[in-house]
Amino acid sequence: MRPQRIRFEDPLALASGAELAGYELVYETYGTLNARRSNAVLICHALNASHHVAGWYADQPDNVGWWDNMVGPGKPVDTNRFFVIGVNNLGSCFGSTGPMSENPLTGRRYGPDFPVVTVEDWVHAQARLADALGIERFAAVMGGSLGGMQALAWSILYPDRVAHCLTIASTPKLSAQNIAFNEVARRAIITDPEFHGGRFYEHGVVPRRGLQVARMIGHITYQSDDTMAERFGRALKRGDYGFSFDVEFEIESYLRYQAEKFSAYFDANTYLLITRALDYFDPSLNCGGDLAAALAPATADFFVASFTTDWRFSPQRSREIVQALLRNRCDVSYAEIEAPHGHDAFLLDDAQYHALVRAYFDRIAARVAAAEAPDAASGASGASGAAGGAAGGTPGASDAPAAASTAGAA
């Protein structure tokens, strides 16, 4: 498998009023596109994930896709039946145009000059990729957490291009508490002396301390209290108090390990951009706070799922989405799943959760097959790619660097 890169020269108008005058998107594909191009599924990624949804690279067998337990041959999103696309969003640090890219106006990296982007901006860019791949309508758009917000935005912005929308462990907008968590994380980065106003690349440094604190804050919100208690409790590293401020509890050691790993691969400017995109997402803003009115354009069928111990995006937030959809008489399936793992449950291999997703995609596959039946005798074949194998090629696309293995929510 190799990720693909595609360049767009037409400027992309952004919600901020700024314009991105040419940009690249990195993406991967898995499975085979059918003759009618009707079995495509778009997977939208969360905060620190990427286009590398499933499978692995031949030269990096340990670099497994962030949702590999969900997507692949015989898995809930079965690439024997669906053509799955994972795309790295603008502003990210895994190959698509972002703060680490060269600004054509200056010849230097964008850094803090990269424009602020929104969930809606990402969706418009993804729609251009769909156009380039010849996909007029997705069988499904799916995502968890921030990815679920993108799926929801797709259903509003491009209602005729989405047959099914799956939003998992997500929310129609952030609460004040969630915005507060993001602000504390951003301040940790911005006040790191090595940040240099976002131009740390030019100084040959990385604001590691700020990134590490940001990651620790985020990681705490992705876990449930029960999970932390069961895994760590109050266990000590050395069996007794050291009467110091060094690592003494196992949970401290774990958080520092996760933080150090994160700061080695993630870009600080990207963290600022993506958390701000999270803050800004609120489709009801221009509808007087009426979510049903905001969702009125949607014609897709919906699958909404939440997890009982997720306190970052609690089940109540998913129920708000469901209630708005029901007011609009949309077809919606809702699952509130008993799971102990908190927000990160959407990334984990939970039997009940996966069974529900599998059943929903069985339903989608049946509809796709029914529509495909008249063309079955034609023998037409589509484009192809394979999870764990070769990615589908696209005319005009080029190989892109492999993404780092990533996991995490929000």
The catalytic site residues sit at: 145, 310, 343
| Owner of token pair 């696209």 | 394
Handedness of CA 49, 363, 378, 72 (dihedral sign): positive
**Nearest in space to 21 (alpha carbons), one of 134, 110, 148, 85:** 110
CA distance 321 to 170: 9
Helix/strand/coil for 190: helix
Please spell the DSSP secondary structure of 81-104, one letter per residue. Answer: T-EEEEEPPTT-SSSSSSTTSB-T
Instruction: Report the residue count for the chain.
Output: 410
Local structure of 143: helix, strand or coil: strand
3-state SS class at 167: strand
CA separation for the pair 334, 336 (Å, rounded):
7
Distance of alpha carbon 85 from alpha carbon 273, whole angstroms? 23
State the Cα–Cα distance between residues 22 and 401, nearest whole angstrom: 19
For residue 82, give the nearest of 378, 388, 339, 385 by alpha carbon.
Answer: 385
